[in-house]
Amino acid sequence: MIDRTAEAPPARRMRPDVQRSLDALLTAAAEVFASDGVDAPVRRITAKAGVGAGTLYRHFPQRSDLITAVFRHEVDACAEAAPALADQYEPVEALTRWLRHLARFVAAKRGLKSALHSGDPAYQSLPAYFMERFVPALTQLLDAAAAAGDIRSDVIPYDLLRAISGIVEPDDDAYTQRMIALLVDGLRYGTHPALPK
Amino acid sequence: MIDRTAEAPPARRMRPDVQRSLDALLTAAAEVFASDGVDAPVRRITAKAGVGAGTLYRHFPQRSDLITAVFRHEVDACAEAAPALADQYEPVEALTRWLRHLARFVAAKRGLKSALHSGDPAYQSLPAYFMERFVPALTQLLDAAAAAGDIRSDVIPYDLLRAISGIVEPDDDAYTQRMIALLVDGLRYGTHPALPK
DNA sequence: TTGCAATACGGAACAGTGTTCCATATTGTG
DNA sequence: CACAATATGGAACACTGTTCCGTATTGCAA
């Protein structure tokens, strides 16, 4: 679900009409993003929310602000899956599983991949938030695996996140998984010899 | 340069006005693509070519047809670099160098990366042509390296091409190269042990 | 409660985009 | 040289994102 109060932490109290607009906007955007992807026309969102275009732009001057607000909780959940996996599996297995988790997350949000890599100013703050959450999560997994001597320690988490989100192919999960496996094997190369396949 | 005759191999002779339109269109498109990327507005191309919009759509119903026509020779040249590198370097080195070559090619054509992965029907035939040329080139390099026992033999060339063109980051060549190196290391994993770094 | 300043609202208007369509102009041929 | 076939240019259309402003809503002070 979506947290309708997270938008203005400093504001003392929110005018009820603002609250309603924000509420309708976020709900509508979530539905539209889910069905039509994050590149869906603005008008479809405002129409579904029963709100004017001006209202949308007032609250979300950057398109990425709306996307961030809508996906915030899911991004957080994905990041928080990292420690859980680290507890449950051995380091490399946990790493692999989390990368797959991440890939499915990106793949599930149609258009998110291109938005992340477009460089379009309308999406400026989007990669920032993703990295802010995912870099620490991934760093933890990489460090654990490196400490165990299962992977090398010269890989930059940020690099790997970019690579994963670049590789993701929403319509071909099998391919995406093969490529993640290949990247993980790349991380292992140069450590102890591979076990027999 | 651009081959102005390649558009209609079956046609006996081309009406001179058609020849001129095609010529102007391809030249203008090449310049515009180079400066503004392949997503440049259609009107800019037609304006520079001194041609109407109808003329463009008559000759290139799909946007990807125009892109393909413009880049045909460069794609071919990139594909033909593979055998040359295979002669000059040992297998894995040749493979790595060609993948870098490919990455630079994709990066140099602004917007090409997204066009390749957009799934937009306007770009349908584009990946087809790229794969048609690049799959054989890459297959040759992979087979040579696998025959030498330097990489595994279970990797699908098509997969690797998709992955490279997904990873490419036009504004960060160093990153792109790091990730290519990581993928190549993934290909090596499970073969003979790595040499000391 | 009432009046008023501050704020937010809706949606029309604007500036771009890709694409289609057809009256006009060009060309090859009998 | 006339005429049918073809190609051309650009106006017109449908659809974007974004801005702007007259109107409506709200909270606060008197």
Q: With 60 as the cut, is the pLDDT of residue B156 above it? A: yes
Q: Is the pLDDT of residue B34 over 50?
A: yes
Average pLDDT over residues B133-144: 98
Q: What is the pLDDT of residues A127-169, one digit of tens each?
A: 999 999 999 999 999 999 999 999 999 999 999 999 999 999 9
Higher pLDDT, A190 or B114: B114
Read off the pLDDT of each residue in B61-75 and give the average, rounded to a whole number.
Answer: 96
pLDDT at A25: 97
Interatomic CA–C1' length for residue B112 and nucleotide C22, angstroms: 34
Cβ distance of A118 and B114 shorter than 8 Å: yes
Domain ranges of chain A: 16-61, 71-188
pLDDT of residue B6 exceeding 90:
no
Query: Residue A18 has what pLDDT?
Result: 87
A113 neighbourhood in chain B, CB within 8 Å = 117
The architecture of the domain spanning B71-188 is: Orthogonal Bundle (1.10)
Q: Taking residues A99-107, report their average pLDDT.
A: 97
Domain B16-61 coded CATH 1.10.10: yes
Q: Collect all residues from B whose CB is shorter than 8 A from any CB in A.
A: 113-114, 117-119, 155-156, 159, 162-163, 166-169, 171, 175, 178-179, 181-190, 193-194, 197
User: Alpha-carbon distance B159 to B163, whole Å?
Assistant: 6
Tokens of A167: 């590789």
**Which amino acid would we find at residue B180?**
I
* Bases of chain C within 7 A of a CB of the protein: 7-13, 16-22, 26-28
Of A118, A182, A197, nearest to B186 by CB-CB distance is A182
Q: Which of A56-70, A100-114, A183-197, B55-69 has the lowest mean pLDDT?
A: A183-197
Contact yes or no for A68/A129 (Cβ under 8 A):
yes
A114 contacts B117 by C-beta, under 8 angstroms: yes
Distance from C-alpha of B190 to C-alpha of A96, rounded to nearest angstrom: 17
A179 to B187: CB separation less than 8 angstroms, yes or no: no
- As a whole number, mean pLDDT of residues A80-92 equals 97
**Which residue in B4, B62, B61, B58 sits closest to B28, CA to CA?**
B4
A16-61 and A71-188 share one fold: no
